[in-house]
Structure 1
Amino acid sequence: MEPGLWAGTGCKRVEYHASEGERIVIPELGHFALALAVALAFAQGVIGIFAPGLRDPRAMRAAPALALSHFLAIGAAFLGLIYAGVVSDFTVENVADFSSAAVPLIYRISGTWGNHDGSMVLWCFILSLCGATVAAFGNGLPASLRARVLGVLGLVSGGFLLFTLTVSDPFTRLWPPPLDGAGVNPILQDPGLAFHPPVLYTGYVGFSVAFAFAIAALIEGRIDAAWGRWVRPWALLSWCFLTAGIALGSWWSYYTLGWGGYWFWDPVENAALLPWLTGTALLHCAIVVEKREALKAWTVLLAIATFSLSLSGTFLVRSGILNSVHSFAAAPDQGLFILGLLGLTIGGSLLLFAIRAPVLAATGVYAPLSRESALVLNNIFLCSIATVVFVGTLYPPFVNLLFGIQLSIGAPFFNQTVLPLAGPIILAMGVGPMMAWKRAALLPVLRQLWLAAAVGLLVFLVVAANRHVIAALGLAGGAWVVMAAVTDVAGRIRLFRVSPGVSAARLLALPRAAVGATLGHIGFGMMVLGIAGMTLATQKVIVLVPGQSTELGGYTWTLNDIHDAPGPNFSQRVADISLSENGKVFMTLHPARRFFAAQKVITNTAAIRTNGFQDIYAVFASEPPGSGGAELRLNRHPLAPEIWLGGLVMALGGGISLSDRRLRVGAPARKKPAGAVA
């Protein structure tokens, strides 16, 4: 037993003073609202799909009304579940198993979606929100297309709501109720993870709208420039949330789990990465459809694939197939139900695509050397990476399932296969945005990029001189992407070729979509710089007693003290570490080990100080018996902050692009088809 760690937790019981009637009524109303949402979702699906065929304007107008009603119903159910968690109603099994009266309010709320059943309600709520948004802001769409889009969203939502109501009911009662709940998983009691699932789910589920547009277009047998303009904002919005969600999850694992890394190629991490890769390809393909009416079939297939991968991630997390810190424990019937929904959604959409793809002939043409071709190259490598990650993630569990053979595919495999495929994407990101549509000349573009190439080469030579070749390649690639994006903007505003005032005016006049795209590329370059910088990290694991010091990364690390400290629902042991350079103390860190009495779980809380270009990172790993000291993991991480700053800049760039009025409402008028499709 570690000294001092088993001291009193300092927990304060939060008494529930709500009336008994509220205990009984609120969860039952939530359950009723969930059942009502199922009925409304299927009504929305049936009417939305079949009303356009009846050519009845009243029936088509019913689909938006049903979508809004469906959203209100599932919203009421979700609020009812949150209410049960906030007031610690332990007659609800979900609350008793995953919450506690001693847990701070924010974690009683986030505990609602920190488990299997509650997370499915959140998933369905976001899906209904997507449908309600299309219903409320889709007045510019043709009535038949909007009805079919809402119909597809209704059928998908109805299937998952039926799953939630039948085999994953979050309102199941427990009697007699316990005096207190089991509590929230200690590693989930963190503000970052409280917001990570909603943001990530919004990205996952948001691609359902692009999927619905694709299925509606297949039913109509028509895709044109207007369709590309309608799909693009939805794909971009979902991509922004998915980017932010992945970055937030990576940041959380970096500072909470205490292992000092940002990405482990965990199967569930990979499940989030897959739709991001195909969603990025979809986003770029939608531009080609809008500009040139080319790549129509491929864009539709990417929309289907992206949402299918989002659904697959939902299945893998909840089926028990993958072992991960992110996974939920699930019963076999739950996994089979989701697998059935997956088969119907993916199989049905691919069958429809196979039937209708011949009518999606491309009308636009372009030269092999053009921006369209650069985007096609981007798609090829993004989808190649997605294929490698997909196979590497799913091959071991399926081999185990079919043959009983235990395989393990870890970070070395993914690093050695993904990084070579990422190289051409990094090179093309510098050249592609500066190429002309339809037909381009390569030599003038390369002349404009001489400074970006020189900076990249200089970075490579400096870092490679210290025998860090892999890091040199990554840092050079990141510098190339950032400088190429800056060069593109400099060329647009004619920097140094006209007066500063004229350049500033041209900068302010740039379309926000172009500014957002540039920021997206700069953010990606920053992320590449951060990932490459982390390969230069220095680490030491050492046991120190108070008063002892060690050297790492040019600093002297001294353990000053170990002491107890109370927490809201835990006790903790805190190590005080000072860092000095040339004998002068310039920083103090306080890593801690927390003991949660309710779950009898110990967690590590890393202490991190950053200046924006490097992280000083310390973890209090353990107190070895009889040593009188602490086992510490000390790290110096160059450029680590750029990983998450880059993700933030990428998401911000997408948001700025969305604010461009032309992207939101400037869809071109739809041309009348030469012949109606039955």
Structure 2
Amino acid sequence: MIAEAGHYALVLALALALIQSTVPIVGARLRDPALMNVARSTALAQLLFAGLSFLALTTLYVTSDFSVANVFENSHSAKPLLYKITGVWGNHEGSMLLWVSILALFGGLVAAFGNNLPLSLRAHVLAVQGWIAAAFYLFILMTSNPFLRLAQPPLEGRDLNPVLQDIGLAVHPPMLYLGYVGFSIAFSFAVAALIEGRIDAAWARWVRPWTLVAWIFLTLGIAMGSYWAYYELGWGGWWFWDPVENASLMPWLSGTALLHSAVVMEKRNALKVWTILLAILTFSLSLLGTFLVRSGVLTSVHAFATDPTRGVFILLILCVFIGGSLTLYMWRASSLKQGGLFAPISREGALVLNNLFLTTACATVFIGTLYPLALEMLTGEKISVGAPFFNLTFGPLFVPLLLAMPFGPLLAWKRGDLRGVTQRLMAAGIAALLAVALVWAWTTGGAALAPLAIGLGVFVIAGSIVDMAERTMLFRLPFGGAFRRARGLPRAAWGTAFAHAGIGVALIGIVCESTWNTEYIGTMKPNDVARLAGYELTLKDVTQRQGPNFRESLARFKVTRGGDEIGEMTPSKRNFTARQSSTTEAALLSRGASQLYISLGEEAAGGAVAVRMYHKPLVLMIWWGPVLMAFGGLLSLSDRRLRVGAPKPAKASRALQPAE
């Protein structure tokens, strides 16, 4: 009964989405508040039924109901409870149900907390959300139903893909989906503005918190996925320029540009047409990522589906929403009035430059990801576009962007003083030069440009510190006065500083790990010693043990440095009998921001085991940076100016009055 109830709830959610997508638009046309308010009630009801459907599938997994095909294919009765729950979205059907449940969640949040929105705008936004939801409910019900029953229920399931039986699966996909799907709100606001033919600074104030929420989750989701690949796959790499990784990076780049563009629009009522276009493109890139994972056009550790029917259905959704929104954009964009003018040397100009580099970098990743697919489809020729292409095209675009980053917050709106800002950034420049000199003096080998890249990271971090010092007048007022000014600063200012500093931190980690990473590969027997970056790693023994649904070979390594014992590392290799496959569980030992990394290979003759060891200097800074960026986003989100919403227009028609 639980499976049937979940399926029925999904059908009811579809019916509500269809009502939500039509009735409020009719109400907006007729200027009927009652019909427009239908959007709010149906969005909340849709959230209820989508949540019940997802809860039903989770219950089926927890109780190991193998009469449901989806549970049989992706679960096992001996699997730990955590992985039974995470297995719900560790497959195509369940992950799509999570996707559409999060979509319903965002629609419900707009309905519940969007009372400060004009009634017609809220009706249009929720109607567009209804269109998107209806399309994906149809997709699930017609091609990817997670509640299908088996005629002859088996006694045991096939188990979840062993690579996915990790705590990372509990965090990475939900965060990524909250980012992907969260951008649907910005898309809905953009389409609603085009339908109404009205966009202003208040619109930017309304859309910015929703975009910021999605950006925070996508930042954390990408970082968690990178760390998961780093320790789970056993290769020691943290980014592979995999097409599906690129599919998550593209909306992040576009969404970052959208956030900065919305700031210009809110403060100066400028860049209206560009901001609308970015909102459309960001969610379009999220849909593209969904297509790449679900269509079967890619073979990847991330890809779920291989059924071409599903790919065609999602391609149809892409064409309707991307093509429809861009057509509406071309039709209505010319009617949107442009806002205030500004000089090239100004904060607006710096943000436009930021947008230029971010969107160009996004286009570079887009071409590098889709060109091989398009070429194979048109000519049958298979080519591979990998790290060399992206490093040579994507990297150089970020150098001028990072150089300009500290200047932006210090420039004045409308017209800035570049010479004055340069003088204020002199301390940051000196700190960067000192960092370059120290790295050159203390390191040997590696890329010649690595010290310069580290200096650039230091410049970005020091620039953020200078910005806050200037705002608080740290060295021009007594400490008490500067502290009071710091407390009075908008949280968004602090958020910007933390987010920019996070990029500098990540850059330093990337450069150090990529340049001075050391590696040892070989076979070892008990009591053999491997020496790596000044550490001695002694293999003590290799033992066997039984896990809940796997058999594990566990190696113990004693780690010493200069004769002093530092700790013990226990990498393992797990064999899952139900799936007839194995995974490598790497062992990590952190020393400050650096790590020792050991993964096991196959067992050799005579009791020897293949090992792969790394010393990765400052590697943890790669992930500390995104966490710092997300923290900056949270600070900005908590800014009172965003929480109170946009100011009400002085003169508004009845249809544009705040919703009740």
TM-score with structure 2 length normalisation? 0.97
Q: Aligned AA for 2:552?
A: Q
SS of corresponding position for 2:344: coil
481-490 vs 615-624, greater mean Cα deviation: 615-624
- Of 129, 136, 158, 1:153 maps to 129
SS in 2 for 1:245: helix
Matched, 1:652 2:631: yes
CA shift for structure 1 position 401: 1.1
* Counterpart secondary structure, 2:406: helix
1:143 aligns with 2:122: no
RMSD: 1.4
| Residue type of the alignment partner of 1:551 | R
Residue 293 (structure 1) aligned with residue 272 (structure 2): no
Cα shift at 1:76: 0.8
For residue 387 of structure 1, the aligned residue among 355, 363, 373 is 363
**2:451 matched to 1:475?**
no
Alignment of 1:293-442 (within 5 A): 293-442=269-418
Instruction: Give the whole-Å Cα distance in 2 for the aligned partners of 1:275 and 1:49.
Output: 28
| Equivalent pair of 2:244/2:302 in contact (CA under 8 Å) | yes
For the residues of structure 1 that align with 2:300 and 2:650, how far apart are their CA atoms?
Answer: 50
Q: How does 1:139-288 map to 2 (within 5 A)?
A: 139-288=115-264
Corresponding residue SS for 1:112: helix
Q: Does 1:617 align with 2:597?
A: yes
Shift of 1:672: 4.2
Residue in 2 that maps onto 1:85: 61
Q: Distance in 2 between matches of 1:412 and 1:269?
A: 16
101-110 or 276-285, which deviates more = 101-110
Match of residue 488 from structure 1 = 467
Q: Distance in 1 between matches of 2:239 and 2:263?
A: 31
Q: Counterparts of 2:55 and 2:568 in 1: how far apart (Å)?
A: 43
1:526 counterpart (498, 505, 510): 505
Q: Which residue of 1 aligns with 2:550?
A: 570
Q: How does 1:576-655 map to 2 (within 5 A)?
A: 576-624=556-604, 626-655=605-634
Deviations 1:590-647 (A, max 9, x none): 11111111111111111101133201111112212x1421211111111111111111
Kindly report structure 1 stretches of 4+ aligned residues shifted beyond 6 Å.
none
Residue 665 of structure 1 pairs with residue 644 of structure 2 = yes
- Structure 2 CA distance, aligned partners of 1:170 and 1:232? 35
**Residue 544 of structure 2 aligns to which amino acid in structure 1?**
D
Unmatched 5+ stretches in structure 2: none
CA contact (8 A) 2:297 2:306 kept: no
Contact 1:513 1:663 in 2 (8 A): no
The question of whether the paired residues in 1 share the 8 Å contact of 2:271 and 2:339 is answered with no
Pick the aligned partner of 1:62 from 18, 31, 38: 38
Cα distance in 1 for partners of 2:651, 2:448 equals 57
**CA distance, structure 2, for counterparts of residue 617 and residue 261 of structure 1:** 11
Matched residues in 2 for 1:323 and 1:38: separation? 31
Q: Does 1:509 align with 2:488?
A: yes
Partner letter of residue 221 of structure 1?
A: G
Identity %: 51
Q: Deviations over 1:385-408 (max 9, x none)?
A: 100100000111111111110100
How many angstroms does 1:361 deviate by? 2.6
Q: 2:541 aligns with which of 548, 558, 561?
A: 561
- Quote the Cα distance in structure 2 between the aligned partners of 1:261 and 1:440: 43
Deviation of the 1:671 alpha carbon: 5.2
Question: Matches of 1:424 and 1:47 in 2, distance apart?
Answer: 49
**1:497 CA displacement:** 2.4
Query: What do residues 488-535 of structure 1 show as CA deviations (whole Å, max 9, x unaligned)?
Result: 111111223222222222222211111111111111111111111111
Distance (Å, rounded) in 2 between the aligned partners of 1:77 and 1:486: 48
Aligned length, in residue pairs? 651
CA contact (8 A) 1:520 1:651 kept: yes
Match in the other structure for 1:9: none
What's the CA shift for 1:71?
0.7
Name 2:479's counterpart in structure 1. Answer: 500
CA distance in 1, matches of 2:174, 2:24: 27
Shift of 1:570: 1.1
Does the aligned pair in 2 maintain the 1:463–1:469 contact within 8 Å? no
1:496 aligned counterpart, secondary structure: coil
Kindly indicate whether the alpha-carbon contact (under 8 Å) linking 2:410 and 2:421 is maintained by their aligned counterparts in 1.
Answer: yes
Contact 2:272/2:339 (8 A) holds in 1: no
Give the C-alpha shift of residue 460 in structure 1.
Answer: 2.1
Q: Distance in 2 between matches of 1:277 and 1:52?
A: 34
